[in-house]
Structure 1
Amino acid sequence: MTREEAEAILVEAGRADDDDFPLLEAAIACAIHDYPFRDPDPVRTLARNAAERLGERMDRESPDDALAETMAADLRLNGDLLHYDDPANTDVIDVAERRRGLSAALAVFYLDAAKRAGLVAQGVDFPNHFLLRVETPAGPVALDPFSQGRIVLPSELSRRALRAGLTPHIADRLDLLMAPVTDRQALIRLQNVLFSRAIKAEDYQGAERSAMRRALLDPEDHRPWLDVASAREKQGALNGALDALHRARTVGGQEVIIQPASFERLRMRLN
């Protein structure tokens, strides 16, 4: 699959309703958009096996135990503690091969398996660490895909929230700490991680690609286009940066605040 073909898949995913969002295929397209011409079949095979094993376990285990045991014990998916910053940890093709990754990348497999098996699970955009919310007969529980899918107790959620800088008033609100996000937002969270890492490494081409993927996945959000513009400007692609600013204004409407100085600075550099 080429980068252009991957981009076309992301455009279609962006047009899909949240209930029909093709998480796994969109995640594969994101990976190939970054590094083309790779075989995605191991990802699909792993996802298919996960759904089958989860379905078998659900007959005799609670939803949270079935999901955690399937993904972490049967399929050996876990967080990469030794090489946390390895770029492979954010790429679902590499994750499928290594069985290691960041929480937001591992969550793609958890969420896909849950959906196929009829288990209700959603992502939780927790500060600094992506979690999962799984509905059980006793109520929702939080799972940490980075730590072998173990349950995160309410008291630990509050402690983590305080360490992340949330106020005590917010850190005590489990309804806020466990607020679910859509599969689209879960995949966008992963692209945000990639963007931040690329900017830090001064990989501005990589930053542009990750911001572009966010723009394609959520075509109603103008903010990714601002990041595209910033990444292009740092590469010296000034016409492209101006075009991205105009796209941000087109998507967001006239109420979008873009400093006139941003346009003027780019125009002056062009002249």
Structure 2
Amino acid sequence: MTREPTALPRGNLDFTEFAAREDEDLDLLTGALLIARDARPSLDFAGVEAKLDALSSPLEALSLERLSDQAEALALELSERYGLSGNKADYYDPDNSFIDQVLERRVGIPISLSLVYVEVAQRAGFRASGIGFPGHFLVRLDGEAEHLILDPFAGGRVLDQRDLEARLDQVGWPRKVLQQGLLDPSPLRLILARMLTNLRSIYLKRGELPRLLVVLDRLVALIPASKEALRDRGILNAELGAPEAARADLNEYLERWPNADDGEAVRRVLNRLGKLNTRDLN
């Protein structure tokens, strides 16, 4: 299945330029590649796309129409033949979030495995999309009048109503949300934000603050309305010894959300930054 070319070669695209696009102009693979490039600046964008094309070719040749056949073929090709699986042994390895590493190592987490499934399925002519299910990202395959939900982390298993209800029970969500749009395809911007949020948690836990700062930069660009990302970036800049950047973020935070619950705490950080700046004058 031939893809329309992006406005710029993916490898030459800046994340901020990408994030500024209208939602309908976003491309999931491009966003995922740009996120992965932050960890490996020499990332071979074309190589990743070629691998996805190669994985989709056998599926496209089958010309499958029934959803159950599409789901079975996807699981067979990606999970059994190619060997994609969930990285249960090292779930919080940041490489699990990067599509190039997922394809190379053949392990990942629910959202990155789902990304591979969606990209391969779409190339094969299937109607596939990502589902931001609570606590565990999933894939949706659509037909003319029905859909199936797949779990790539579980080898591409098709989930029925009882499976989905049980998963909601595990995370403390009411079952009724299944009828309230929970299984609708997730907007691409929110999928990318979820990938970045995973990395934010990982880098924070590992104490990798420079990498955390890059992730927060990406979140602020991708979701300008994210007050938490802007605030956290300001506080992190203060910790990393960048007071001007910290003040800019925290002042903007207070201007945009003057009644924020943590406003007083943010003002205290700004006061400390002001005092530090005064002492540095000579």
TM-score under structure 2 normalisation? Answer: 0.81
State the Cα deviation string for residues 63-113 of structure 1 (Å, max 9, x = none). 323333333234332211222222221111211211111111122222222
Instruction: Calculate the aligned-residue CA RMSD, in Å.
Output: 2.7
Indicate the residue corresponding to 1:59 in structure 2. 64
Tell me, yes or no, if the aligned pair for 2:254 and 2:263 is still in contact at 8 Å.
no
Q: 1:268 to 1:27 in 2, by over 3 A?
A: same
State the Cα deviation string for residues 131-190 of structure 1 (Å, max 9, x = none). 1121134512211111111111111111111111213544xx344441321222112111
Number of residue pairs matched by the alignment: 263
- For 2:222 and 2:44, the matched residues in 1 are separated by 22
Indicate the residue corresponding to 1:259 in structure 2. 263
- For 1:45 and 1:7, the matched residues in 2 are separated by 17
Tell me, yes or no, if the aligned pair for 1:11 and 1:216 is still in contact at 8 Å.
yes
Matching of residues 92-241 of structure 1 within 5 Å: 92-137=99-144, 139-170=146-177, 173-241=178-246
Select the structure of larger CA radius of gyration: 2
Q: 1:109 to 1:255 in 2, by over 3 A?
A: farther
State the Cα deviation string for residues 199-247 of structure 1 (Å, max 9, x = none). 1222222222112112223345444222322332333433222222345
- For 1:12 and 1:119, the matched residues in 2 are separated by 29
Question: Residue 181 of structure 1 aligns to a residue in which SS?
Answer: coil
Question: Residue 143 of structure 1 aligns to a residue in which SS?
Answer: strand
TM-score under structure 1 normalisation? Answer: 0.84
Indicate the residue corresponding to 2:279 in structure 1. none
Match of 2:23 among 7, 13, 18: 18
1:268 Cα offset (Å) = 2.1
Identity %: 25
Tell me, yes or no, if the aligned pair for 1:232 and 1:240 is still in contact at 8 Å.
yes
- Gapped regions of structure 1 (runs ≥ 5): none
- Gapped regions of structure 2 (runs ≥ 5): 1-9, 276-282
State the Cα deviation string for residues 30-73 of structure 1 (Å, max 9, x = none). 11113323334432222221332332234365332333333323
